[in-house]
Amino acid sequence: MTAAQAGVLVAALVVSVGIGLLARVRSTRTALDFHLAGRQTGVLLNAFAICGDYVSAASFLGVAAAVYAAGLDGAWYATGFAAGFIPVLLFIATPLRRFGERSIPDFLGRRYRSEGVRLLAVVIVELIILAYLVPQAVASGIAWELLSNASLPGLSAYATGIVLSTSFTAFLVLVGGMRGTTWNQALQFAVLLAVLIWLTLMLVAEGFSYAETLTDVEAQTLATPVVNDDGSEQLITVESRLEGGDATFGLPGARYGAVGHFALVFTLMAGTAGLPHVMNRFFTSPTGRAARMTTVWVVGLVGVFYTLAVMLGAAARLEISRRADELDWLAELSVDGVLRVPEHALLSLGRLYGGQLGLSVVTTGALLAIISTIGGLLLAASASWGHDIYERHINPHASRAQALRAGQVSVAVVALIASVLALLLDPARITIGTPSLVASLVTMAFALAGSTLTPAMILGIWWKRSTAPAIILGMATGLVLALAALTWSLADPNAPETLQTPVVAVGPLVSAIIVVVSLKTKPVADVDEIWLKLHGSASDRGAERLTQATLETTR
């Protein structure tokens, strides 16, 4: 690592720590402050923070990598990621904030007046968080390995990146809580967007044209380097996978068929609404209206981000192949002009156009994306364990200090588990057949969320008749089916492509189970009061609060 690279990285980390310390001085005294920043986060700040939380390594490195490796088929990741906030805007953000809880399990438990629903939701949330955390840690190892060969004693550079990123992020969360994480996520997303804009401007200055790039790339053979068991390398072409098909970089079919395209986008769209670290951020808004306006800003910001990521992925495919024979460092990363690790696409562009300093800027952006998302995930895990388990079941009479400590301990434990799982994962064993390892792994978290929490939340918000027994059976069924499909997809490289995106089949089935069982079981007793909190007008809710206050005063 050069002095310039180290300077950029250290500067970014120092700013992050400073923000966390400032937030700690201002307010991290209670569990509510730690988990939800006192519900005082403004619209624009929260929008940038949600983007920082959502735009993970799968977005910053993974989308460009997927486009680099699979052309238009990789761009469907960007489509699904960006479109995921449309259902959130239309159906979830405002009523979820109006209800006013701390987490998805808290919302579901109170909506259905069931501790069984709450506990099952906690289990699902923790599985989703781990499924999302592991690829972030993997991406941190990939980015650190390219930036520096420095390693901790007994660890490889890849493992060092995992340990350093998760440890540093856990420290930031423990220091700053939700308030510090909010400001860090907002700043980090601004940095990520600026990096993509800079790379785009550099390309445009050299005459970049997206249409011409697609034409030029389509003349090349699409291939992915694969390491055989004996250590030799070979290129597996898209054409061989399609058994002689006519797929090209700018046309669909290289990675997914028509059903696969729909299943991928549907899974990402449906899964977004069930991501705990993203949905928890809406509880930090002061009002339901603020939550809705925040989502409008998010839709616009992520749209710009993913548009640029797709363009840069296509540009990387052409530029890297052109220069691989000219540059020794690029030749070391590639086979016949094709990068061994697709996630190196943006990082390589940074070095092509900015030298070592450019590489350090893009790598720092990638590490910030990872830190930002890991921070949100750790806070979501803390809210579930600290509030939904510790405060409600283990120690219902916990003091403020005890509740805060429980949340902080859960942050450290979840960070440790994620690091161990990432260190045990061998990326070389599961790259075959996937356009981007990081994007593909993150998709599994979306699959779990879309198969379980999303149907429960949407029906809970928009259908009065849904009941607790139906939700428990529906979520349990969705969890079992999604885990079975995802396990099969990991174990068998030749498994059907839709097993990695099972929500298109599992989601409707779970919804049907909930509807049928709800019609045969007793509805929630105070559903009208619940409906008023979710959908009533401001005057209705004000009158309800006044009535409750009056009744409590006269008792």
Residue 26: pLDDT above 80?
no
More confident residue, 292 or 229: 292
The tens digit of pLDDT for each residue in 369-403 reads 777 788 778 878 877 777 778 877 788 887 777 87
What pLDDT score does 458 carry?
Answer: 94
Share of the chain above pLDDT 90, in %: 21
Share of the chain above pLDDT 70, in %: 80
DSSP 219-234: TSPPEEEEE-TTS-EE
CA–CA separation, 56 and 140 (whole Å): 11
What pLDDT score does 370 carry?
Answer: 79
The tens digit of pLDDT for each residue in 202-224 reads 998 888 887 777 777 766 544 55
What pLDDT score does 435 carry?
Answer: 62
Is residue 133 within 8 Å of 457, Cβ to Cβ?
A: no
Question: How far, CA to CA in Å, does 163 sit from each of 109, 141, 166, 184, 396?
Answer: 35, 8, 6, 20, 34
What pLDDT score does 245 carry?
Answer: 42
More confident residue, 240 or 106: 106
Residue 270: pLDDT above 60?
yes
pLDDT-based confidence at 20, cuts 50/70/90?
Answer: low
Give me the amino acid identity at 14.
V
Is residue 435 within 8 Å of 70, Cβ to Cβ?
A: yes
3-430, which class in CATH?
mainly alpha
Nearest Cα neighbor of 302 from 87, 83, 136 is 83
Nearest Cα neighbor of 69 from 263, 281, 346 is 346
Burial class of residue 489, CB neighbours in 10 A (0-12, 13-18, 19+): buried
Residue 139: pLDDT above 50?
yes
CA–CA separation, 287 and 267 (whole Å): 29
Residue 169: pLDDT above 60?
yes
Task: Calculate the CA dihedral of residues 49, 541, 32, 288 and round it to 10 degrees.
Answer: 0
Task: Calculate the CA dihedral of residues 351, 356, 359, 363 and round it to 10 degrees.
Answer: 160
CA–CA separation, 138 and 116 (whole Å): 34
Most confident of 154-163, 255-264, 266-275, 325-334: 266-275
pLDDT-based confidence at 243, cuts 50/70/90?
Answer: very low
Nearest Cα neighbor of 294 from 94, 461, 513, 472 is 94
Q: Of all residues in the chain, what percent are helix, strand and coil, respectively (each to 5)?
A: 80, 5, 20
Give me the amino acid identity at 462.
W
H or E segment and range at residue 335? strand 334-335
| Range 423-441 average pLDDT | 65
Each domain of the chain, given as residue ranges in start order, spans 3-430
Residue 551: pLDDT above 70?
no
CA–CA separation, 78 and 307 (whole Å): 8
Burial class of residue 397, CB neighbours in 10 A (0-12, 13-18, 19+): exposed
Give the list of residues 6+ apart from residue 234 with CB closer than 8 angstroms, or none: 225, 226, 228
Residue 445: pLDDT above 70?
yes
φ, ψ at 30 (rounded to 5°): -125, 170
Average pLDDT, the chain: 80
Poorest-confidence range of 305-309, 328-332, 383-387?
A: 383-387
pLDDT-based confidence at 127, cuts 50/70/90?
Answer: very high
Claim: this prediction has a pTM higher than 0.75: yes
Q: What are the structure tokens assigned to 138, written together?
A: 């993997």
